[in-house]
Amino acid sequence: MSTVTISEDEFLRLKEKAGEVIKRDPTQCLAIGHTWKFIGGANAGCGETCSCSVPVHECIVCGDCDYGDNDEGNDTRQECALLDHNDEAHP
């Protein structure tokens, strides 16, 4: 019971609450490079029989969600495209 560690998430929320302007602006998001946190997986949506999942991230500042539209997701979809969607063979 000594120090309280807050996450960047918490920190930014507090800053926002305190009225510090953190613009919810996607261009700023890219320019400044907000922190995106992993919030779960989503279907990659690469094919009807496909069950790939891609990681979904949310910007802790803007609250934006990438819905799996990220490098990792792109990789997954690319790899999937190289595979035939044989139900069994597909991980």
- What is the contact surface with Zn ion in residues (CB under 5 A)? 29, 34, 44, 46, 50, 52, 59, 61-62, 80
Smallest separation (angstroms) from Zn ion to the CB of 45: 8
Smallest separation (angstroms) from Zn ion to the CB of 19: 18
Distances (CA, A) of 85 to 10, 39, 56, 68, 90: 42, 27, 23, 20, 6
For Zn ion, the closer CB: 4 or 82: 82
CB-based burial label for 14 (10 Å; 0-12, 13-18, 19+): exposed
Smallest separation (angstroms) from Zn ion to the CB of 5: 22
Contact 86, 50 (CB under 8 A): no
For Zn ion, the closer CB: 46 or 56: 46
